[in-house]
Structure 1
Amino acid sequence: MNTHKALYDFLIVGGGILGLATAWQLQQRYPDRSVLLLEKEAALASHQTGRNSGVIHAGVYYAPGSLKARFCKQGNAETKAFCREHQIPFDECGKLLVATTADELQRMQVLQQRCHDNDIAIEVLDQQGLAAREPNVTGLGAIFVPSTGIVDYRTITEKLAELFCAAGGTIEYGKQVARLEQFHDRITAYCGNERYQARYMVACAGLHSDRLVSMLGQKPEFRIIPFRGEYYRLAEQHNQIVNHLIYPIPNPALPFLGVHLTRMIDGSVTVGPNAVLALHREGYRRGQFELSEALRILTYPGTLRLVLKHFRTSMAELKNSLSRRGYLSLVHKYCPQLTLDDLQPYPAGIRAQAVRMDGTPVDDFLFTETARALVVCNAPSPAATSALPIGRHIIERLEKLVEFSRGP
């Protein structure tokens, strides 16, 4: 066993945007303290950060007063400011939430109120107003959210890493934490034949957050259930098919937003994602399977209860995953001119969804603390948008741990 003699002040586990946003801000706040970040892959942003739609969300959907609502609104402004400061390309293209049925028009009114409650500027469009903004989109009306944008979150993460290291931080790659051990004055992370010691730890491990909680000797009140989100890229001739991001009006009874058309920062347009139960934490390929993971997911009561509660939707998502024609039908609701040949392959992502024993998805950001550690347990969308304010929130919570450990 190779023990690193250095006792770091802070250890960060996870090299996604949330881990780097926390590490950089922590090193900034405490320039004389040592901060080490461990990333299990050979590169940063290899999972949720680098496999999402790249949307800078405005905060339309989130319950007023929730951490999601608060952090998303702050993060929207701070992400754009960060990009301007560091010359990272982004586009404040705006988003249209399109109603295609009378029922969706009614639900649109609820979203209007939520935007008002969250102090988000919007414009409500009738059918003619929608057609004027988006000639290729069909609908009865829409909400236009001008502050929504697009960016490459992998680029932001890499810039955060550069700033973190320039401020004195250290990143080690290929270090997967297999075991944690807490002592009265430190915490030890075991990575293969190596171990790292720190006074305090923050884990931003996404798909593996429940494992980290268990390693700390805690019994998590949730389990991470992975959902694969499958995308297609539109054929290049359709790069100008929409002027904004095009989203359906979400069904409040369902935990996901539905398939949308997303302009990407590279100029392409993607369609997706759906949401299909994956039988592997990192099962990006359809049919990818790992027996131990499949048993973990399928024997958890929360999984069964969640699937049964949304059985028809789950079956429809599975069917559309297997059939491009079914997937296309979801897009035809608001963009009927697209054909099967227009749906070209694009990498899938995995959403790490914390689910409680009763089958309820955890709807907000969730944290677990011990005397020496803080684990980010649930950080779904809009976590990338909200990374900078979430990082500050983590540091504030961490400071309380530090004060507590010092005693009166």
Structure 2
Amino acid sequence: MYDFAIIGGGIVGLSIGMKLSQTYPEASILILEKENQWAAHQTGNNSGVIHSGIYYKPGSFKAKFSRDGCRSMVEFCQEHNIDHEVCGKVIVATDSSELPRLENLYQRGLENNIEVKRIGPEEVKEFEPHVNSVGGIYVASTGIVNYKQVCFKYAQIIAEGGGDLRLNTKVQKILTRGNSQILETNNGTFEANFIVNCAGLYSDRVAKLGHVNPQAKIVPFRGEYYELTPEKRYLVKGLIYPVPNPDFPFLGVHFTRMIDGSVHAGPNAVLSLKREGYKKSDFNLRDFTEVMAYPGFWKLAAKHADEGIKEIIRSFSKAAFVQSLQKLIPEVQAQDVVPTHAGVRAQALMRDGKLVDDFLIVQGQNSIHVCNAPSPAATSSLEIGKAIVERIKEQSPLQPVLS
């Protein structure tokens, strides 16, 4: 019998496990991950950005957790000697029609208590000499890191605290027996007093295994990236983002310098035909038919038909993808970029076609289900861990030793 069992070994699940081990050092903690390594999916295939929180609705979990997480993640990396860099980023308008939206974003940054600075085209050039713009915002607190390294450190801390970490262990059934939860897996049966579902791309299905309806379905979107060739990396010094379209759920194609020095360009966002579909050819019948039969998807598709078609064209046309990059850096040519790995975003979608635009945390019987935690969840992982443990304190009979 374990005091706590966490389903999912991505950055959110491991952060919660670490915080639990620090708060309840005498508790028995179990982490179950179906893959053969930690951070195998969203965490290990993201852009590696430490987000500032500028984009998110004031007062939302995303706004608060990413703003505070931006600081706590940097402090964690400093404490544990994890490679990172607070490089800042520029968000630029490439056309005068985007300037009102840029100003709105600046004001949102102020509302979220983020240090933001308006900059003109010449100042943009000081940060990013090759960028085309009519104005921009500089966000000094944004950084870069390898989130897999962060996850490995979380896991190490849990193990050192006596936690039981199990890879290659997929939860297949959840039963309630009195006040405890029985987890049947491909690798044995486990019993716990309290479970936390951090299953990412499968969080909605795991919630239903635990008799909880999250009122939303995970729809997978593949983010497709190109990478600048080594001889063209000089074109990007840090992070370069466009002004996002507030009516579209994705940030748009941008340039990201990774912690290893490579520069990624993207992502293009298209529906994935498999929840873990990192290639265009990946297909899973159950995943596909679930999305096709879901009314919310068709309502979303109808609302964003124009942008969706552009994303699909960029997915199959390198020329179209490069054209979108040239809005930010005109010098970029097709021969300057090569395809690189993709990521899949687990996006919760309501039946009415509205995207769940905040982290979705659902309470169950002796359980908590994190049912929407895409970006900026990696940045926010330490803060999400704190928040989940605070909720657990309200229900657990165990006495915490760490406030």
The TM-score bracket by the shorter chain reads over 0.9
Aligned position for 1:387? 381
Deviation at 1:240, TM superposition (A): 2.2
Whole-angstrom CA distance in 2 between matches of 1:62 and 1:345: 30
Aligned partner letter, 2:339: P
TM-score, length of structure 1 as denominator length = 0.96
Q: Does 2:190 match 1:201?
A: no
Deviation, 1:227, is: 0.1
Say which of 291, 310, 318 aligns to 1:297: 291
Alignment of 1:4-403 (within 5 A): 7-192=1-186, 194-402=188-396
Match of 2:283, SS state, is coil
DSSP-derived class of the 2:59 partner: coil
In the alignment, the residues of structure 1 paired with residue 117 and residue 197 of structure 2 have an alpha-carbon distance, to the nearest angstrom, of 39
**2:4, 2:194 within 8 Å by CA — same for their partners in 1?**
yes
Question: Which whole-Å deviations, capped at 9, do the CAs of 1:139-175 have from their partners, x for residues lacking one?
Answer: 1011000100000000000011011100111100100
- The CA deviation at 1:106 is 1.1
Q: CA deviation at 1:239?
A: 2.0
- Please tell me whether the aligned partners of residues 235 and 344 of structure 1 are also in contact (alpha carbons under 8 angstroms): yes
Partner Cα separation in structure 2 for residue 157 and residue 256 of structure 1 = 25
**DSSP 3-state at the match of 2:389:** helix
The residue identity in structure 2 corresponding to 1:102 is S
1:322-381 C-alpha deviation (Å, 9 max, x unpaired): 011111111110101111111112110000000000110000011111121111000111
Is the partner of 2:195 in helix, strand or coil? strand
- Return the letter of the residue paired with 1:256: F
Question: What letter matches 1:255 in structure 2?
Answer: P
Distance (whole Å) between structure 2 residues aligned to residue 135 and residue 364 of structure 1 = 35
* Number of the residue aligned with 2:401: none
Contact 1:371 1:401 in 2 (8 A): no
Cα distance, 1:135 vs structure 2: 1.4
Cα distance, 1:403 vs structure 2 = 5.3
Aligned mates of 2:273, 2:377 — CA distance in 1: 23
Shift of 1:133: 2.2
Contact 1:15 1:44 (C-alpha < 8 Å) held by counterparts: yes
SS at match of 2:379: coil
Contact 2:33–2:170 under 8 Å retained in 1: yes
Q: Which letter does structure 2 place at the counterpart of 1:211?
A: R
Name the aligned partner's letter for residue 102 of structure 2. M
Q: Which residue of 2 aligns with 1:3?
A: none
Contact in 1 for aligned 2:174/2:209 (Cα 8 Å)? yes
Distance in 1 of aligned mates of 2:112 and 2:84: 24
Cα displacement (A) at 1:193: 5.4
1:287 CA drift (Å): 2.4
SS at 2:171 equivalent = coil
Residue 31 of structure 2 aligns to a residue whose secondary structure is strand
Counterpart residue identity of residue 55, structure 1: V
Secondary structure (helix, strand or coil) at the match of 1:179 reads: strand
- Tell me the SS of whatever aligns to 2:301: helix
**For structure 1, which segment, 235-244 or 136-145, has the greater mean C-alpha deviation from structure 2 after superposition?**
235-244
Distance in 2 (CA, whole Å) between partners of 1:142 and 1:403 is 51
Say if 2:6 and 2:17, in contact at 8 Å, map to a contact too: yes
Partner SS state of residue 272, structure 1: strand
C-alpha deviation, 1:269, in angstroms: 0.3
Aligned residues: 398
- Cα separation, 1, equivalents of 2:224 and 2:165: 31
C-alpha separation between the residues in 1 aligned to 2:297 and 2:354?
9
Identity value in percent = 44
SS in 2 for 1:228: strand
Distance 1:151 1:193, change over 3 A: closer
Give the TM-score normalised by the residue count of structure 2: 0.97
User: Where in structure 1 are there 5+ consecutive unaligned residues?
Assistant: 1-6
Query: How far apart in 2 are the matches of 1:401 and 1:203?
Result: 16
Counterpart CA distance in 2 for 1:183 and 1:269 is 51
Whether contact under 8 Å (2:207, 2:369) holds in the other structure is yes
**Amino acid across the alignment from 1:152:** N
**For 1:60-87, what per-residue CA distance to the aligned partner results, in whole angstroms no more than 9, with x for missing partners?**
1011111111111110000000000000
Name structure 2 gaps, 5 residues minimum.
399-403
Distance 1:383 1:182 in 2: 29
- Residues 17 and 45 of structure 1 are in contact (CA less than 8 Å); yes or no, is this contact kept in structure 2? yes
Match of 2:92, SS?
Answer: strand
SS in 2 for 1:230: strand
